[in-house]
Amino acid sequence: MNRLSQACVSELPSDVSLPKYDRKQLKAGIVHLGIGAFHRAHQAFYTEAVLNKFGGDWGIVGCSLRSPSVRDQLAPQDGLYTLVERSGDGEKLQLIGAVIKNVVGPENPAELVSLMAQPNIKIVSLTITEKGYCHDPATGNLNSAHPDIEHDIQNLSHPKSAIGFLVAALAERFKSGTKSFTVLSCDNLPNNGEVLEKMIVQFAEKISAELAAWIKANTCFPSTMVDRIVPATTDDDRRDVEKRLGLRDEGVVIAEPFSQWVIEDKFSDGRPQWDQVGALLVEDVRVFEKIKLRLLNGAHSIMAYTGYLSGFDYISEVMNEPAFVNMVKTYMAREAGETIVAPAGFDIEAYKQQLRDRFSNKALKHRTWQIAMDGSQKLPQRLLESLRVQLKSNGNIDIICLGVAAWIRYVSGVDEKGNAIEVSDPFAAELRALSDANKDDAAANVRAIVGISKIFGDDLINEERFVLTTIDWLTRFRAKGVLDSIRESFL
Ligand code: CS2
Ligand 1 pocket test: which of 189, 371, 383, 410 has the largest number of ligand atoms within 8 Å of its C-beta? 371
Give yes or no for residue 228 CB within 6 A of ligand 1: yes
Q: How far is the CA of 23 from the centre of ligand 1 (A)?
A: 31
Is any atom of ligand 1 closer than 6 Å to the C-beta of 188? yes
User: Does ligand 1 come within 6 angstroms of the Cβ of 370?
Assistant: yes
Cα dihedral 270→273→279→281 (10° resolution): 40
- How far, in Å, from the CA of 450 to the mean position of ligand 1? 24
| Ligand 1 atom with the shortest distance to the CA of 226 | 13
* Measured CA angle at 270 (ends 268, 271), to 5 deg: 115
User: Please, are residues 298 and 467 in contact by the beta-carbon 8 Å criterion?
Assistant: no
Find out whether the beta carbon of 271 lies less than 6 Å from any atom of ligand 1. Answer: no
For ligand 1, pick from 40, 229, 303, 370 the residue to mutate: most ligand atoms within 8 Å of CB. 229
Burial of 244 (0-12, 13-18, 19+ CB in 10 A): middle
pLDDT for the residue 106: 98
CA of 13 to the centre of ligand 1 (A): 31
Nearest CA to ligand 1 atom 3: 371
Find out whether the beta carbon of 297 lies less than 6 Å from any atom of ligand 1: yes
CA–CA separation, 488 vs 491, rounded Å? 6
Q: Is the CB of 178 under 6 A from ligand 1?
A: no
Q: Are 187 and 129 in contact (CB under 8 A)?
A: yes
pLDDT at 137: 84
Q: How far is CA 446 from CA 387, 391, 441, in A?
A: 16, 18, 9
Integer angstrom CA distances of residue 368 from 26, 315, 477, 479, 487: 39, 6, 18, 23, 19
Provide block-wise average pLDDT over 10 residues at a time, the chain (491 residues): 96 97 97 98 98 98 97 98 96 98 98 98 98 90 94 97 98 98 97 96 96 98 98 97 98 98 97 98 96 98 99 98 98 98 95 98 97 98 98 98 99 98 98 97 98 97 98 98 98 95
Atom of ligand 1 nearest to the CA of 374: 5
Query: What atom of ligand 1 comes closest to residue 230's alpha carbon?
Result: 9
Q: What angle do CA 127, 131, 135 make, to 5 degrees?
A: 110
Alpha-helix runs per DSSP H in 117-155: 147-154
Q: How close is the Cα of 172 to the center of ligand 1, in Å? A: 34
Map residue 64 onto helix, strand or coil.
Answer: strand
DSSP label of 44: H
Report the distance separating Cα 137 and Cα 39, nearest Å. 23
Residue type, 318: V
Which residue's CA lies nearest to atom 10 of ligand 1? 229
Ligand 1 nearest atom to the CA of residue 228, by list position = 13
> What's the pTM value of the predicted model, to 2 decimals?
0.97
pLDDT tens figures, 425-437:
999 999 999 999 9
C-alpha span between 137 and 457 (Å, rounded)? 9
Percent residues over pLDDT 90 in the chain? 98
Q: How far is the CA of 360 from the centre of ligand 1 (A)?
A: 14
For atom 1 of ligand 1, the residue with the nearest CA is: 371
State residue 140's pLDDT score. 84
Q: How far is the CA of 187 from the centre of ligand 1 (A)?
A: 10
Closest atom of ligand 1 relative to the 366 alpha carbon? 9
pLDDT tens column, 299-344 = 999 999 999 999 999 999 999 999 999 999 999 999 999 999 999 9
Question: What is the distance between the alpha carbons of residues 195 and 420, in angstroms, rounded to a whole number?
Answer: 35
CA–centroid distance for 418 within its chain:
30
The preferred substitution site among 296, 360, 370, 374 for testing ligand 1, maximizing ligand atoms within 8 Å of CB, is 296
Whether residue 374 has its Cβ less than 6 Å from ligand 1: no
Q: How far is CA 316 from the centre of its chain?
A: 20
CA of 71 to the centre of ligand 1 (A): 23
Does the C-beta of 371 come closer than 6 Å to ligand 1?
yes
